[in-house]
Structure 1
Amino acid sequence: MMEVSTVRDPSPATSPYRTADPGTTADPGETTTPGETTGPYRWRWLILVAMLVAEVMDLLDASIVNVAGPALEESLGAGPVGLQWVIGGYALTLGAGLVLGGRLGDRYGRRRMFLIGLSAFTATSLLCALAPTIELLIVLRLLQGAAGAVLLPQGLGLLRENFDGPELTKVFAVFGPVLGLGGIIGPVLGGFLVEGDFLGLGWRSVFLVNLPVGIVALVIAARFVPKKPGHPGVSVDTVGAGLVAAACALLVLPLNQGQQDGWPLWTWLCLVASVVGFALFALRQRRTAAAGREPLVTPGLLRKPAFTVGLGGIALFFGGLVGTQLVLTLYLQIGRQFSAGDAGLGNLPLAVGTAIGGALSGAFLADRIGRAVLQIGPLVQLAGAALLWFQLDGLSPASFSIWDIAAGVALSGVGAGLVIAALFSFVLAAVDDHEIGSASGVLSAVQAVGGSIGVAIFGSVFFARARSADFTGAFHHALVVQACLLVAFLAVTLLLPRRGRPEDEQHGIGAAGPSGQERAAV
């Protein structure tokens, strides 16, 4: 992602103001012609609509499948490992390809790559709905994540190209509530579609819902997003992209398969190979920069202890958050025989708690107490996990409702919300202004891959105990894993800056452009 300067560049390639010959009107979707400035591009708010639709589609696909586990098992014979790959595989390829996707937009033009990514995302959604086997569905989910990696990085760049100053601030003010709603309604909508079994489609409808939405976004983007060329001089480090993708796959593969296969030698060799792959990627980035070419990741970032430690913190936090969300849904559906719709609604206490925590953190806590909010948050989560533990112990085997565990789930959500609202700001405080674009892309990628790892670890822990029908014990084991991750995250926060970046620098109206946190903090 490219940096935004504080000085407006009036050239047609970068300015949100359209130019045209006197007496002419620039048509939407066309390049500007030399001439006088005619004011802001009139269709720019439709660009925001298309970007929001694309972002919400991604958020829905990251969580909407969570409630489809039993339906996938019944329809395609999906076992625990297959379900983990269907859910976590999407996040894996999304995270592994995000940085490359941003560079492709720089090189070939953001509009072109946005349309390609959106077309591929919509097409793979259709193919996922048509998948006849669980193996093919997994492959298609991996491809869908790769399409998302091409699509998503273009959105913020396109908005920066077409909005400026106070309008840009308004644009990013819209992002939070809309994307927060997208994250909340994913499991609820998924449960409604699966349980409704409309036209006999069952779980396939959770993918088909993307078709009309994606087609509308494609029409809007193709018609109204201005054509602006890329920068042919920008190099694309395909070797580096291949290294990071391979390293991510070598990390997640044994975590998904290890528990079922009994942790044979190849699983440990894969984990070692993943570490080597990440080290080779870092070395490749340094050598690419030393040779005067554009690396995927600014090498200076990897030399900043607070940033690299912060990456670990993001992976720990989102791995635990995404993993516990999955376990909650699995417990409700498999352990308590909730329908898909009821399991989706069962996520609402967590969503409400997260919204409350985010409001408290964003409104005043982060500004007043600084880094301490990142330590209060996990402590609240730990308290929520402890309360949930005792609530699970006291459940009556004869009757159960979501209200029996709502307090513990909601309290955990409050703690998560406190952290989410501030985490990216504090990590980005460790980097220089000219590194913000690269840093935010890396953080978003680590968040996605961390979520995929969380699905693999928590899914394996839950299913290992659930095989003996001890679903309460399975949830207890997952809570122990969450507690360990939260304690590790607490230790990491001590190495982060005491204060985050100023608000104006986080939203693209200061020296740096908008960061990846607008999308990640939901």
Structure 2
Amino acid sequence: MAAVVGQALGGVLISLDLLGLGWRAIFLINLPVAMLVLLFGSPLLKETRSRDARRLDLGGMALSMVALGALLVPLVEGREAGWPLWSWLSLVAAPLLAWLFWRYETRLAQAGGAPLLDPGALRAQGLGRALLIALLFYSIGSFFLLFSVYLQEALHVTALQAGLVFLPFGAGFLLGPLSTPFLRQFCGAYVNPIGLGLEVVGFLGLAGLLAATLAGAHPAPTPLAALLFVIGFGQGLALPTLMRMVTGRVAPAFSGMIAGVASSALQVSTALSVAVIGGVFYEVLGARTDPAAITRALIAAVLCIAFCLAASAALSITLVRPARPPHDEAEGQV
């Protein structure tokens, strides 16, 4: 909800143009939150200490940060910079740095230390697929940026109006988690792929709506609001069930670690989405800035998001579907 409300409040701040900051005023959204944390964090969050407290894995933290930076920085900055040599060298170095991180964590675990990412935790059955689902899940992250570009550059709406367009998504995202207990009674563990499937349907419908709308004209408001609501509702269904799907595959001792890994995967997914799908958008757009070109670029990006979510849904089905018994055991049951 914070992300959706932030869209509207960001539009308000840009419209007010506080201190002449223009769009930079959006960063002021964080100030009240930070002040509340400073005022109430210490009194409300009592510190606890483990009897078996272990040292923080500073080496693992440093290697993971460098590896992720080597991957994400060139993806985010490379296209605008004209893909200089450093961007390609950084991308080539990223797998090597990830391998060094893995080796370091493995050796630390073997030595009895407390690795940032314990390799033993990743051996849980299906965990790799669950984390891949999480990595594909936030491909929607680029949508908020690119759809805002479409609204303001192709349709020439104000920043405030563009922010308000996302409110149906927020309503769906609020109702989705509230509906999860009810749907689990009928759909069981399939709530996650159902939510992802609703997102795919919503994005395909949005692509069709954009394609059927004349360049520069506003899409029909009722279908647009309905599609955004469906996307938000599907997102609201899928997110909490996804976290349960990931953390439920490891022993309780590893649950905190894997929850952190899943959260990091979602953040990396957002960054990759903005970089990769945003790159698709601007490659399709090229040097043109007319409404028809922007609409065509957005349709391409929306289809990329739908593809990622469809792959995520397919992987999710493989995790929740009961495994078939071996051939001889099945014959015995017959």
User: Is the Cα–Cα contact under 8 Å of residues 306 and 497 in structure 1 kept in the other structure?
Assistant: no
Question: Residues 204 and 327 of structure 1: is their aligned pair in 2 closer, same or farther, counting only changes over 3 Å?
Answer: closer
1:473 Cα offset (Å): 0.6
Of 292-301 and 412-421, deviating more is: 412-421
Residues 340-364 of structure 1 deviation map (CA, whole Å, 9 limit, x = unaligned): 111110111222222333333x222
Q: 1:284 to 1:228 in 2, by over 3 A?
A: same
Partner-residue secondary structure (3-state), 2:319: coil
Distance 1:257 1:207, change over 3 A: closer
Distance of 1:366 and 1:263 partners within structure 2: 47
Structure 1 residue aligned with 2:173: 354
Q: Residue 460 of structure 1 is aligned with which of 263, 268, 279?
A: 279
Does residue 381 in structure 1 map to residue 199 in structure 2? yes
Matched, 1:394 2:206: no
Corresponding residue number in structure 2 for 1:249: 69
Please name the residue that 2:132 is paired with: 312
What is residue 493 of structure 1 aligned with on the other side? Answer: 316
Q: Which has the higher helix share?
A: 2
Q: CA deviation at 1:253?
A: 2.2
Distance 1:298 1:368, change over 3 A: farther
Match in the other structure for 2:249: 430
Q: What's the counterpart of residue 326 of structure 1?
A: 145
Distance 1:342 1:224 in 2: 38
Matched, 1:447 2:266: yes
Aligned with 2:79: secondary structure? helix
Return the alpha-carbon distance in structure 2 between the equivalents of residues 375 and 228 of structure 1: 38
TM-score normalised by L of structure 1:
0.56
Contact 1:370 1:498 in 2 (8 A): no
Listed as ranges, the matches of 1:197-212 within 5 Å are 197-212=17-32
1:474 is the counterpart of 2:314: no
C-alpha separation in 1, matches of 2:302 and 2:144: 11
The equivalent residue for 1:301 is 121
1:502-517 equivalences in 2 (<5 Å): none
Question: How many Å separate the matches in 2 of 1:348 and 1:296?
Answer: 38
Which stretch of structure 1 is more off in the superposition, 267-276 or 234-243? 267-276
Aligned partner of 1:195 in structure 2 is 15
Cα-to-partner distance string for 1:414-455 (whole Å, 9 max, x where unaligned): 222221131111122211111111111111111111111111
Superposition CA RMSD, Å: 2.6
Residue 93 of structure 2 aligns with which residue? 273
Secondary structure (helix, strand or coil) at the match of 1:370 reads helix
- The answer on whether the counterparts of 1:315 and 1:449 sit within 8 Å (CA) in structure 2 is yes
Identity of matched residues, %: 32
Please, which of 217, 235, 238 is the counterpart of residue 37 of structure 2? 217
The verdict on how the C-alpha distance between 1:496 and 1:275 changes in structure 2, with shifts beyond 3 A counting, is farther
Contact 1:317 1:485 in 2 (8 A): yes
**Residue identity matched to 1:411:** V
5+ long unaligned stretches in structure 1: 1-179, 500-522
* Aligned-partner SS, 2:214: coil
Distance change >3 Å, CA 229–CA 263, structure 1 → 2: same
Q: In structure 2, do the counterparts of structure 1 residues 223 and 350 end up closer, same or farther at CA, with 3 Å as the change threshold?
A: closer
CA 1:437–1:455 in structure 2 vs 1: closer, same or farther (change >3 Å)?
same
In the alignment, what sits opposite 1:408? 227
Alignment of 1:16-95 (within 5 A): none
Alpha-carbon deviation of 1:305? 4.1
Name the SS of the counterpart of 2:288 in structure 1.
coil
| TM-superposed deviation, 1:489 | 1.0
**Unpaired segments ≥5 residues, structure 2:** 323-334
Aligned to 2:239: 420
